[in-house]
Each structure stands twice: as structure tokens, then as C-alpha cells.
Chains A and B, each alone.
Chain A
Amino acid sequence: MALRRTHLYEYHRLHGRLVEFAGFEMPIWFEGIIPEHNAVRNSVGIFDTSHMGRASVTGEGAEELLDYLLTNDISRLEPMRGCYTLMCNEQGGIKDDLIAYRLSENHFFLVYNASNREKDYNWILKHSRDFDVEVRDLSDSVAMMAVQGPRAEEALQGITSEPLSEVGRFHCREVIIGGQRALIARTGYTGEDGFEIYLWDTPLSQPSKALDLWGKILSAGRKFGIKPCGLGARDSLRLEAGMPLYGNDIDEETNPLEARLRFAVKFKKKRPFIGKEALLRIRKEGVKRRRVGIRMVERGIPRHGYEIWKEGERIGYVTSGGFSPTLNAGIAMGYVPTEYSKLGTEVEVKIRRRLVRGKIVKFHPFYDETKYGYRREKR
């Protein structure tokens, strides 16, 4: 099957190293993962995220449908606000993690994983039949890019019609940016401050608007050393931030409680949701394993699929791992039985034939929050 391409493919082809991801031909890096990663942690970087899934849900029954499908409390979401939420199956397994925005009373905008585009859309569509709503797949008609890093606001302000300082975290606003109408949201997948930009009315067949904005953002960010970033840096940044990657760290066989995503599940919201009964049962019985963060004490890079050991026994698997440029060490996420999930617990990761020492550490995020990330102390 031919690989899909985004609006920005022409730029990627000329400037990046391309790889296949979730059926798309995407850049893994432009200059290199480490310089791109560091640009985002220390200044600003821009990512093409147009491979992701986007859909609108509109109508009188939109709030009701989404409250039924999603674990977060959609009834309490104010207009022009978004929230991180999960979508579960009846057994409490995670179908996807996504961001839901409420643009107005009866108009919602969903952004979900590229790897789940068809699955999510079909699931939402199937359940929508019992509600007074219209669901539309906008994945190929809304270009999407993310501008991330502590200087993101400064870099974008010069080409944006509205004061971005007024857009709070997880808020969104309709703006004119680089001369084009877009929705801008203060969200991201890097742990840093930053924005995700949705360019309305940009069909794949007409990529020029997206290419034009991409170029204008690169120009506006030049004095801050902005770098175009590929999927490699996107992955290393989210790993350091402790954010799960669907298909690796969470899937339909994992539930939000063991995945430590309880904050996105609102048991007390006024409407029931798919998976609620199962999750309440799991909560009552107690979570048997938990997602943890591991920092290697010895040299070595843990990777997806490697075994986690404790006292001569295999206790779990690494679900995401890699080299952390910020910590200059190997870091990983994985699942271990609850009794081994305490911070400070010494474990080993089997790297090829060797058991390499590591430690369970705080992982959401892995880095020092006073120095990095959107909560950092302002200089």
C-alpha cells in the first residue's frame, strides 16, 4: 500500500530523512534528533503533526455522546477549552488517548493518534447513531502543526493577530496567523510550553497554505534558533515528559488506572461512560501492575520490548525507552507489579545478554521541573 503524505511532504522530502510511521511518510529528523530535541527544551521547535486524526462532533447531542465515549468530564468543559482524555472499551481497556476541545456549546473538535485514525472514527461514528449529532472526519482537510518550547509564544506572537499570553494552558482561540484563519491551542506532546495550530480549510490537494505558514513560522522563529523537528525528537521529548505513546505504553489491554492516567478519568461525572463499570471493579480489586519510569544507573539504553528484572526474576517489560538528551542517560517506561513500583526500587533491564542496573524514578516528567518543562521557573 502506498504511504500517505501530509501537506508538508514537499518540505520534508527536501530537508528531512523520511521514514514510515502509522502508514505515513514522515520525517524522522531534519538536522538530527539531539539538536532538535534540545531546541525544543531550550528555545523553540516546529513539528508537522498533520498525520494525526481530527474530527468534529456537532449537534444538540454532542456533549452527551462525548461524555458517553470519553472518560473525562465533557459536561464541565467550557467553550474554547480542551482536555486530555481517554476513550475506553467496555472492559476498561484504552481505545485511544486524545484531546477534546469544545469550540462552542454544541461544537467539539477531537484530535487523536495517527495509528488509530480509522478505528477511532468508526467507533465514534457507530455510537453517534443513537445521538442527535453529526460526526465529520477532518483529518485530510485541516493541516496541523505544533510549535513547542519556552520561546514558542515569543516566536509566534509577531505573526499572530491575538495576544497569545491570554491563551492559557489547554485553552484555544480562533486567530489569524501568518495571514490565515486557524485555531491555536496551548497544548503539546513535549512537556514544554507551546501551541498546536489547526489550519482550517486546507485540503491535502492544496498544500500551499500549510507550506506557507510553515515557512512563515520558521522565519518568525529564526532569531530564537527555531528548528524543524521530526518524529525522533517528538518521541524523545514525550518520553522525557513521561507521556504515553499509544500502541507502546497503552493499548486496549491496558487500563487507565495501571497506566497512571487516573487524572483523565472522572468517575463522578454526571453521565456514565463506556468502561466505567469495569474500571470501578478494577479500582475495587486493586491495580496489580503499574506503569513506572526507570532511569539507568549503569550505562545502557533500554528499548521497547526489553525485559525488566528484579532478584533473578523477570517482572515486566519496557514499553518505551531510549536515550534522554536532557538527563544524558538511558530512560524507560514499563509495567511492573505494584509491589515493585515504589520510587527508588532497584531493578535491572536486560539489554541483550546483560542485566543492567536501573532505578524506579519519578517519570511524569523524568526531568527537573524547576529547570525544564512548562512549569519551569521563568528566567
Chain B
Amino acid sequence: MSEEYEIPEDLYYTEEHEWLKVLEDGTALVGITDYAQKSLHEVVYVELPNPGDMVKQGEAFGTVESVKAVSDLYSPVSGIVEEVNEELLDSPELINSDPYGKGWIVKIKPKSLEDELENLLNAEQYREHLGSLEAK
């Protein structure tokens, strides 16, 4: 079943279905995965943190809501929110149409990236994780 979902090779993942993309300047983009957007379906509202907010690895920093469901967003890494994707306020559906691109949610300046990356999944591990969810 997991081959139905797009899982880019160059990203890191959480078990809660966030992705993390480390940029060249050392900051990182965060969004939700193709699996997450397909499960939620029709995102109609995103609650974003403010730039400057502190986030901690594994802790909730915002929410994504579909017509039916509310889902917390968990930060893949600790750090400071440098930028939020304000386009999502008016066009939350970007999360559905382009989860790894225009649907990015926040840009974080990580605090201890090297250590924390070890707690995240790579594409292969995330694919296995989805497989185990589907099997349940």
C-alpha cells in the first residue's frame, strides 16, 4: 500500500508524518507528508506559530484541520521558528496539492540539528513505518 504515497529520498521524517528538509544555509523546512495530507483530506485550516517562537523536537507547534478532523503538528527538531508559510492562511489546500513544495509549513533555525537528526527516519525507514501502519 505504501507505494501509493510519494516519499522523497532527500528528506527526514517523523513517525507522526512530518517531513524535514535541511537547507544549505543550515535552516530547515517542515511540512506534512503525502500520506498525512491524504489521510486528512481537504485541509481547510492551519494554525501556525509566530516567527521567533521556540519549538522542541517531538512537541506540538500548530495544527492542521480538515473538514472532519483536527491534527496536531509535531516539530521534527528543536529550534526557533524563522518563518511561517503565510500563504497557507488563505490557501490551506496547498498542503493537499503540493505537500513537499508550496505546502511547506514553517522554516526552523535548528539548535542541535546533528544530534536530533538521529531521532528521525530516512525515506526507507518512513516507507517501512507506513507499511506497518497499513498492515494494522
Residues of chain A touching chain B, judged by Cβ–Cβ distance below 8 Å, are 17, 28-29, 32-34, 232, 236, 299-301, 303, 322-323, 325, 330, 352
On whether the beta carbons of B45 and A28 are closer than 8 Å, the reply is no
In Å, the complex CA distance between A323 and B65 comes to: 9
Chain A contacts of B42 at CB under 8 A? 32-34
Chain A contacts of B89 at CB under 8 A? 299
A interface SS class = mixed
Residue on B with the closest CB to A231?
A: B68
Question: Known contacts A28-B68, A33-B68, A232-B68: does B63 contact A323 (CB below 8 Å)?
Answer: no
On whether the beta carbons of B68 and A352 are closer than 8 Å, the reply is no
In Å, the complex CA distance between A28 and B45 comes to: 19
- Distance (Å) between the CB of B70 and the closest chain A CB? 7
Answer whether residue B56 sits at the interface, using C-beta atoms and an 8 A cutoff.
no
On whether the beta carbons of B41 and A299 are closer than 8 Å, the reply is no
On whether the beta carbons of B68 and A301 are closer than 8 Å, the reply is no
On whether the beta carbons of B70 and A303 are closer than 8 Å, the reply is yes
On whether the beta carbons of A236 and B45 are closer than 8 Å, the reply is no
- Distance (Å) between the CB of A6 and the closest chain B CB? 20
On whether the beta carbons of A352 and B63 are closer than 8 Å, the reply is yes
In Å, the complex CA distance between A28 and B67 comes to: 11
Chain A contacts of B41 at CB under 8 A? 17, 29, 32-33
In Å, the complex CA distance between A28 and B66 comes to: 13
Answer whether residue B44 sits at the interface, using C-beta atoms and an 8 A cutoff.
yes
Residue on A with the closest CB to B39?
A: A17
On whether the beta carbons of B44 and A323 are closer than 8 Å, the reply is yes
- Distance (Å) between the CB of A326 and the closest chain B CB? 13
Binary flags per residue of B35-57, CB closer than 8 Å to A gives 1, else 0? 00000011011010000000000
- Distance (Å) between the CB of A21 and the closest chain B CB? 12
In Å, the complex CA distance between A232 and B40 comes to: 13
Chain A contacts of B45 at CB under 8 A? 299-301, 323, 330
Residue on B with the closest CB to A300?
A: B45
Residue on B with the closest CB to A322?
A: B67
In Å, the complex CA distance between A351 and B44 comes to: 15
- Distance (Å) between the CB of A137 and the closest chain B CB? 31
Residue on A with the closest CB to B93?
A: A34
On whether the beta carbons of A34 and B63 are closer than 8 Å, the reply is no
In Å, the complex CA distance between A29 and B68 comes to: 11
